[in-house]
Every structure is written in structure tokens, then in C-alpha cells.
Amino acid sequence: MDEADRQLLRRCRLRLVGELQVAELWDALLSRELFTRDMIEDIQRAGSGSRRDQARQLVTDLETRGRQALPLFISCLEDTGQGTLASFLRSSRQAAKQDPEAVKALDHLVPVVLGPMGLQSKGQRDLGNLTPVVVGPEELWPARLRPEVPEVLRPEVPRPVDIGSGRIQDVCAPGKNRGHADTAYALDSDPCGHCLIINNVNFCPSSGLSMRAGSNVDCEKLQRRFRWLRFLVEVKNDLTAKKMVTALREMAHRDHRALDCSVVVILSHGCQASHLQFPGAVYGTDGCSVSIEKIVNIFNGSGCPSLGGKPKLFFIQACGGEQKDRGFEVACMSSQGRAFDSDSEPDAVPYQEGPRALDQLDAVSSLPTPSDILVSYSTFPGFVSWRDKTSGSWYIETLDGVLEQWARSEDLQSLLLRVANAVSEKGIYKQIPGCFNFLRKKLFFKTS
């Protein structure tokens, strides 16, 4: 779906959720191949399964269904007797194409809720039964008599803003949502979400994998850090590949409806692996691998519908391969951080295409459209990730420090850039973290 149609859907979301008769749409959506039967079943299970929850999920999923999704959806509305909504969407779409700037101006208008008795006070409103009407702020009321607009409907001020001198000024009080609703995820719930940390330290002798000294230090740091970021943290130690998958599926099957985000952290040995989108694999303590793709796909729309449209974050501390990077010389570049020493060791295991890679065929056979996903890797695919036996891995140590110093004011992508830069300057051997980012908005952690 192109950006204009996506923005139109979001502007019309309130009305669609309020009026859409979803039960009559399923056959039409199937016949026009707009959704598969499995997708429709996922939508039907969304939230409490109420009409409003299903309508909300349908509108959200519609954004992922290709360039012709909106006109096909309008045709489905016409086929099922919902002509008023169809005409509303078609005329709005034509107006947006003819004059995009006029439609953008709607973003600056104030949504006012009208009910049977006209404009109602905040305490009297039942938003589920009222009709939102967008009007200019001066059209109905002089300033001194203007009724209070519900907090959830007020346009928010973007954060941060450029004040013209190259500096960034913070215009929001600490703890407030740091970004416009269209540009930043709302992480308002407390707790914010679940965080699962899988910490594999001791491996079976038959696996040929060494003990990961220093990983417990990483685990303790991240436990404290994500609790500080308002997550419910659960740690599972020394899991086989099968038990890793079981723990991840148990987390995905929880009810996340009241939460805003999820985090998965994997601390283990790793290797290269065949892939379509997300490279690499991590090892269970039995020496069998689980591909990153399989881990991510456990949390897709069918596996975890209650996280639909919400950010799902994955942090992988494991080698991406066996290559050791000595870097290249750069003029006037000073080496920062501690030097490489005998206490540093890699989390590398050779690339596997044999029995240990048993999960990879599962992982690549059917991939959903990725959205609201970010996978942060400790190192570039194919390269070693370094871990100190006493102070933990370079990546986790740096990530923890960056979150502590900057999470109150910067979004996740900016934080990860700081991590990548700091880690890249460490040691004789080099390492560069990176991420595969399929988030749709900026993400600011909840820090107060």
C-alpha cells in the first residue's frame, strides 16, 4: 500500500472502527484474495473478539496487503451493502490524489466528539457510542468557552524538534509520549511489556561448544536495565534448542492486549545460517541451532495476534560467523575502549548446513510480511562477536551504558547508532553491531 492510502486509512480509522460491519466482509475479502482464511481467523481472534477489536485489527492489517488493497477493500464494502463507508473512502481517496496538501491540513484540526446532546464534557463522553467530527478549533466556540477535548484526542507535539541552530530542543516534559502518534509508538502501559532473556552458558560436552564465561554478567545487566525500562523480565538459563522454541512460543501465546511492546534477548553461541530476511542462528545447549528467522516468526501475526501493530524487539548476542575483523587504518582515528586481551573470546561456531541446522528449512518455508520488528545483532553477519570472560560482551556492556545515559531522550534507532559507533572503536580485533529494522515508527522507551 502506498503512503497516501496508508495515511488515509489512519485518518479514517475512528470512523471505520466505529461503523465497519466485519461479519459481512469475510467472504468478500476471501473472494477478492485480499486476505487468506488464516489471516481472517487471526483478525477474528484479535483482542476480545468483539466487532470493534476485529474492525481495528482489519484496518491495521489492510496496510500490509499491497498497492491495490484500498480500492479492493472499497469494492468489498460495496458488495456487502456498506455503501456509505465505501463512498466516504472513495471520495476521500480522490480528494487526496487531487490535492494532497489540503488533506494534510486535516492533521492540524482538532477532533471534537459530538453526541446526541451536542458537545459533551469529558466526564459525560462514551467514545464508543459517539461520532468523531473534525472541525477547526475556532469554528464552534470562542476560546474562553471552548470545551475541553479528551487528552487522547489532542494533537501531540513532535519530539524532539530542530530549533534552527543544528541543536535539538526537548519540548516535552519527561515521561510524556515523545513523538506524534503518527511518528512514534505509544509506550504508555505500565508495565510496558514482557522481556524474555535466554542465557545459554553451559553446553553439553557432545555439542563441542565451550562455556560462555561472562554471559551471566550480561544477563544481570539486562535484567536491571529492562526492569528500569518498565518491562516484566523473565530469565531462562541453559536451554536446549527445543526448549528455546518452547519458551518463545509460550511468551508469544500470552495475552499482550494491555501491553505496548515485547523484547526478546538471546545470549548464546551463534553461527551463519541460510536465510531469506534475518541472517544467523543461535545454539541451544544441546548443540542444535535455531535460526533467527524462526525466532522472529514465532511472534508474527498468526503466532502472536495480541502484539499486532506493536513493536517486537530482538537483541542477539552471538557470533554471526567465524571471521575475525582486524579493521582497516583510518587517519586520525584513536582506538577507544579496552584493548583486546587474553580474556576476550568469540561466540563463534562454524557455518552449518548439516544436522545442526535442522530448524532452517522451517524458518524459510513461509515468511510473513515483516512489520513492527527490529532485530539488533551484536555483530555483522559472518563475523565474530567478542565477549570478555569477566566483564561480559562488548555489545551488551555498551548497550546497557547507552540505554542508561540516553534512553530518556533518544529513540531506539539513535541509541543503536551510538552502540554501533562505540563498539566499533574497541580492541585490536573489530566488531560492528547492526540491525534489521522493520519498525514503522520511532520508539522511545518508557523511563519514568
Q: Which residues are designated catalytic?
A: 269, 319
Query: Residue 290: exposed, middle, or buried by beta-carbon count in 10 A (0-12, 13-18, 19+)?
Result: buried
Query: Residue 149: exposed, middle, or buried by beta-carbon count in 10 A (0-12, 13-18, 19+)?
Result: middle
Question: Three-state DSSP class for 9?
Answer: helix
* 281: Cα separation from own chain's centroid: 20
Distance, CA of 412 to CA of 375 (rounded, Å): 12
CB 422 within 8 A of CB 381: no
Question: Three-state DSSP class for 271?
Answer: strand
Q: Which residues contact 219 (CB under 8 A, 6 or more apart)?
A: 197, 199, 235, 237, 267
Distance, CA of 49 to CA of 60 (rounded, Å): 15
Q: Provide the angle, in degrees to the nearest 10, between the axes of the packed helices 37-44 and 51-62.
A: 140
Distance, CA of 53 to CA of 16 (rounded, Å): 11
- In the numeric block, the cell 565451550 is attached to 210
CB 359 within 8 A of CB 188: no
Distance, CA of 58 to CA of 40 (rounded, Å): 8
Distance, CA of 41 to CA of 277 (rounded, Å): 26
Beta strands in 295-346 (DSSP E): 312-317, 344-346
- In the numeric block, the cell 508495565 is attached to 191
CB 154 within 8 A of CB 428: no
